[in-house]
Chains A and B, each alone.
Chain A
Amino acid sequence: MSKIAFIAPASNQEIKKYGKSPLEHSIGGVAHLLDADTYFGDRCSNYKELEQYDYVFVNQATTMYQLTIDLRRNLPARVKIIAFADGAHQDLTRIPFVPDGILFIKALQVSDGFASIVEDAVGYYNLFTDKPCCFIGIPFPYEEVKRFQIPPQQKLQVKWVGINGQLTHVPARNSIGSLFLTKKAETVRILLCEPQKDKVMSFLNENNFLVEVHDSLGYTTFYEKYSQCYLGINLDPLGSWGRFSLDVAAMGIPVIGTFAQHTQKKLFPMLTFDPFLEVPKIIATYQRLFSDFKFYNECRDYALHIIETEFTNEKLISRWDNLRRLIDGT
């Protein structure tokens, strides 16, 4: 049995061990599934402690690139350093090139392998390094989430639409586009996370949105609240895992989203578009989800089938074995 450490960012802190992680829909879930010890921090002075591991995963963020490089330099070659993608695969183009972009490429080039959370983005990361890059993904606690499924027939009286993103904090996620899409069919009620509610309420009212705005939520509260939705909208152009689409899909709710997000593309191929260039198709599909209940169920059932077959822990472990073999050259 290999010994694995998983290091997650914690600003300006010496890395510190927190033991094992629970199975959650987050990077902590990866640590859980690999039975890894979870560490937090962004710098290391006690390399000896990490020498006990066969593989050290470093969850990448701008604060972690230098740590990745330092670990590779200061640990023996038998300890394999694996950079684990987080954020969007566009990040290299979203951070200042000097110094962050240069450091990111250096981290890619020195680490023993790179794990991506978007299957189709492997080729992009591969441009910058000759080290193995593979898709791994993130585990999903489906057994827990499926308890929140409500049959769609019970949602026909009042139609709630769940919107991903926040207007003020992360406009990059295009929640504004998702919001205005809701105007293109029958009147719906909107569920939106927006911690700065007071700053946007007048805009929402002026534009006649029937919206319930809530603060940031824990996992369980999120599932409780969003399980009432008839559908979700996640027109986020940032290429990443796309946890909103998977969370909502697992509750048996179709999501309209973008092809840049891994889970959306896999779960809802008939509801997946370019968020800026395919708006007429998006509108037509949105309207169809209200008028064609057979289509609605087809989308819903397909996603549930894919979660049960493709988003399993066994598949993730198998992908990890594949990356391990590439890194070890076996």
Chain B
Amino acid sequence: MPKIAFIAPASNQELCNHGKAWLEHSIAGTAYLLDADFWTGTYCVNYPAMEQYDYILINENWEMYQLTIDLRQKLPPKTKVIGYADGAHQDLTRFPFIPQGMLFIKMLKAVDGFVTLVEDAVGYYSLFTDKPVSYLGMPFPYEKVRQFQIPPEQKQEKWIGVAGRLIHTPMKNCIGNLFLAKKAEKVKILFLEPEYNQVKSFLDENGFIFETHHYITQDEFFKKYSRCYLGLNLDPLGSLGRFSLDLAGMGIPVIGSFVQEHQKKLFPMLTFDPFLEVPRAISAYQKLFSDYNFYNECRNYALKIIETEYAHEKFLLRWDKLRNLINGG
């Protein structure tokens, strides 16, 4: 059994081992499924502590590129260093090229392998390196989430779950989701906005009926959003898109964008370009209210995909495939 470490960022901190992780819908879930030791930190002084591992996965963000390069330089070749994508695959174009962009490319070239969260983004990362790049994804605790399923017939009040936040992450196009929600019958909108006082008058002036909430735990999220009739996640940032999977796991259809892995796989009939296919997104949104067969078709298709394609066995198969590539097998 190979010994694996998974390192997640923790600003300006020496690496620290936290033991085993729980199965959650997060990067910690990856550590759990690989039975990895879960580490956090951004720099390493005790390299011998890392030599015990066969594989070290590093959750990449700009604070972690230098650590990744350092680990590869200072650990023996038998310990394989693997970059694990986080954030959006557009990130290389979203931060300053000097120094972060250059470091990112240097990291991609230095690692023994790189794993992505978006299957179709493998080719983009491969542009910059000749090392193995593979799609791995992230485990999903479906057995837990399915307990929050409420039959759609019981959802008299039409709540719409909206992804993103207006203030902190405008790039997730929460504003597009909100205005799309106005294009069918009167609905109530549920979304995360910790800085609610700054947007209340805007929301009132534009006639939204809404409930905002502060940061909540995963369990609270599932409890709160399980009442939704559907979700809107027209996020143009290409990543996993956990919102779509979380809602799908509760049996709730989601309209979203094609750049997000889960959305594209779970809801092909509800997936659009968030800026260039708005008329089609509006039609699909309206159809979800007027055509109950269509609603159920979308819902059931997503649940079937979760049960078959999001199984832990599939994740472990992908991990084995990457391992083989890295080891030249």
Stretch of A3-11, A74-82, A87-95, A321-329 on the interface side? A87-95
Segment 183-239 of B: residues with Cβ below 8 Å from A: 183, 198-199, 202, 206, 236, 238
How many of chain A's residues have a CB under 8 angstroms from any CB in B?
48
A218 in contact (CB, < 8 A)? no
* Chain B residues with CB below 8 A from A167, complex form: 97, 101
* Chain A residues with CB below 8 A from B94, complex form: 171-172
Given contacts A120-B277, A279-B123, A279-B127, contact A237 B171 (CB under 8 A): no
User: Of A184, A207, A237, A282, which is within 8 A of B93 by CB?
Assistant: A237
B167 in contact (CB, < 8 A)? yes
- Indicate if the CB atoms of A200 and B98 lie closer than 8 Å: yes
Q: How far is the CB of A292 from chain B (nearest CB, A)?
A: 21
- Indicate if the CB atoms of A259 and B124 lie closer than 8 Å: no
- Indicate if the CB atoms of A94 and B126 lie closer than 8 Å: no
- Indicate if the CB atoms of B121 and A277 lie closer than 8 Å: yes
- Indicate if the CB atoms of B92 and A176 lie closer than 8 Å: yes
Closest B residue to A94 by beta carbon equals: B171
* Chain B residues with CB below 8 A from A199, complex form: 98
Given contacts A94-B170, A97-B166, A171-B95, contact A279 B276 (CB under 8 A): no
Segment 142-180 of B: residues with Cβ below 8 Å from A: 166-167, 170-173, 175-176, 179-180
User: Of B105, B199, B274, B278, which is within 8 A of A97 by CB?
Assistant: B199
- Indicate if the CB atoms of B175 and A101 lie closer than 8 Å: yes
How many of chain B's residues have a CB under 8 angstroms from any CB in A?
46
User: Of B180, B258, B275, which is within 8 A of A239 by CB?
Assistant: B275
Segment 66-94 of B: residues with Cβ below 8 Å from A: 89-90, 92-94
* Chain B residues with CB below 8 A from A280, complex form: 123
A90 CA / B278 CA spacing, docked (Å):
13
- Indicate if the CB atoms of B170 and A259 lie closer than 8 Å: no
B259 in contact (CB, < 8 A)? yes
User: Of A94, A127, A181, which is within 8 A of B176 by CB?
Assistant: A127
- Indicate if the CB atoms of A123 and B198 lie closer than 8 Å: no
Segment 117-150 of B: residues with Cβ below 8 Å from A: 118, 120-121, 123-124, 126-128
Segment 268-315 of B: residues with Cβ below 8 Å from A: 274-279, 282
In the assembled complex, 14 residue pairs joining A and B whose CB atoms fall closer than 8 Å, in A order, are A90-B171, A96-B170, A105-B202, A124-B278, A128-B179, A172-B94, A177-B93, A177-B127, A184-B127, A260-B276, A277-B124, A278-B123, A279-B127, A280-B123
Residues of A within 8 A of B (CB): 89-90, 92-98, 101-102, 105, 118, 120-121, 123-124, 126-128, 167-168, 171-174, 176-177, 180-181, 184, 199-200, 203, 207, 237, 239, 259-260, 274-280, 282-283
